[in-house]
Amino acid sequence: MKKLKVGIIGCGGIANQKHFPALKNNEDLNEMVAFCDIIEERAEKAAKEYGADGARVYTDYKELLADPEVEVVHICTPNVSHSEIAIAAFEAKKHVYCEKPMSHCTEEAEKMVEAWKKSGMQFTIGYQNRFRAEVQNLHAACEKGELGEIYYGKAHAVRRRAVPTWGVFMDKEQQGGGPLIDIGTHALDITLWCMNNYDVDSVTGSVFYKLGNLPQATEGNLFGPWDPETYEVEDSAMGFIKMKNGATINLEASWALNMLDSREASTTLCGTEAGAEIHSGMSYPKNELIYNRGRNGQLMEETISPVGSVAYFGGGSGEEGTIDNRQWLEAVLNGTEPLVKPEEALAVTKVLDAIYRSAKENKEIKF
């Protein structure tokens, strides 16, 4: 099978934690031929560890996009640069995998979708949590109508104390926001995808800057104390999302919140036939999916057997980042749709953007 030639723009944390290992695990489908980072040493290190023979190193993404050998681009840069790079990549006729979220604001995300549609290339966003076994199971149940009409959901992205203290996470100019745009985006994506409902009617949000600037709040942080002087983003944000069919979703996102239950990349769904909860995050030793319903005159709870797992629908199994990457590469090679569609990722960005706007303007945002 042909191997796709991949170029990576941004060789920092997310590239090293997710993209490089996932691409390496799928080396039968690709080879990494170009690496770009504004810090040349990072790109050189990545090229040495993961690159194909003769892999090129760049400090300007435009030079990488001009490389005729590169067919697929992975964008692993701060949120505010996603739109600019993706649009340039589409104009250069490259397929684009962009890290989540699609962008820091609706306007820029819409420009990305417009450029993609004009290009004729493939496009996806990095919502790899869809490929977790329990999320796949829940989505399949929803597709079959096992929960009935799903009219209430909760998207959970709460950490008690796990503020990321590296990179630009606390830089509002670079990221556009804090936990809402960083981890709230995953929880919302899972919830909307399982509900298969992207028709938003209105959004109301609250954004809190309460703990970030308190020195005492840094105690017990998983990643060590953060600097209160440089903490520019929110420490928590909440949203109330009303859909056009009357269904509602509560979204909670926080890096630091005085709450015992830490649930991340999780969802709760309530339907007319049954309910379901995914438990994932610091409060749980393992990810779990629990269905609840009435049966034979009693309330029942059902969980997935520990000996079973959901294999990737294209064949094989493994860690969600690797599976996500494989289906993306196969979509490019076969000319099929990737699982995470650009329009769905755009809907997530619109909701996150509306929560920030609602909190700033102190009003409901109508869609």
For the cut 80, the answer to whether the pLDDT of residue 89 exceeds it is yes
Find the helix or strand (DSSP H, E) in which 112 lies: helix 106-119
For the cut 50, the answer to whether the pLDDT of residue 130 exceeds it is yes
pLDDT band at 23 (very low <50, low <70, confident <90, very high): very high
pLDDT given at position 304: 82
pLDDT band at 311 (very low <50, low <70, confident <90, very high): very low
For the cut 70, the answer to whether the pLDDT of residue 308 exceeds it is no
C-alpha 79: how far from chain center = 12
Spatial CB neighbours of 267, under 8 Å, sequence gap ≥ 6:
138, 153, 154, 155, 156, 187, 190, 191, 194, 276, 277, 278
For the cut 80, the answer to whether the pLDDT of residue 56 exceeds it is yes
Average pLDDT, stretch 311-322?
A: 62
Question: What is the spatial distance between Cα 211 and Cα 229, in angstroms, rounded to a whole number?
Answer: 12
Residue found by looking up tokens 């339907």 in the block: 271
pLDDT band at 319 (very low <50, low <70, confident <90, very high): confident
Buried b (16+ CB within 10 A) or exposed e, 185-211: bbbbbbbbbbbebbebebbbbebbeeb
Find the helix or strand (DSSP H, E) in which 154 lies: strand 150-158
Q: How far is the first Cα of the chain from the last one, in angstroms, to the nearest whole number? A: 45
Phi, psi of 198 (to 5 degrees): -120, 10
Q: What is the mean pLDDT of the chain?
A: 95
The pTM of the full predicted model, rounded to 2 decimals, is 0.94
Residue found by looking up tokens 């709460």 in the block: 158
Pair 237, 180: CB distance under 8 Å:
yes
- At 89, the amino acid letter reads A
pLDDT given at position 306: 62
Pair 124, 153: CB distance under 8 Å:
no
pLDDT given at position 307: 53
Give yes or no for a cis peptide into 101 (omega within 30° of 0). yes
For the cut 50, the answer to whether the pLDDT of residue 312 exceeds it is no
Average pLDDT, stretch 258-277?
A: 97
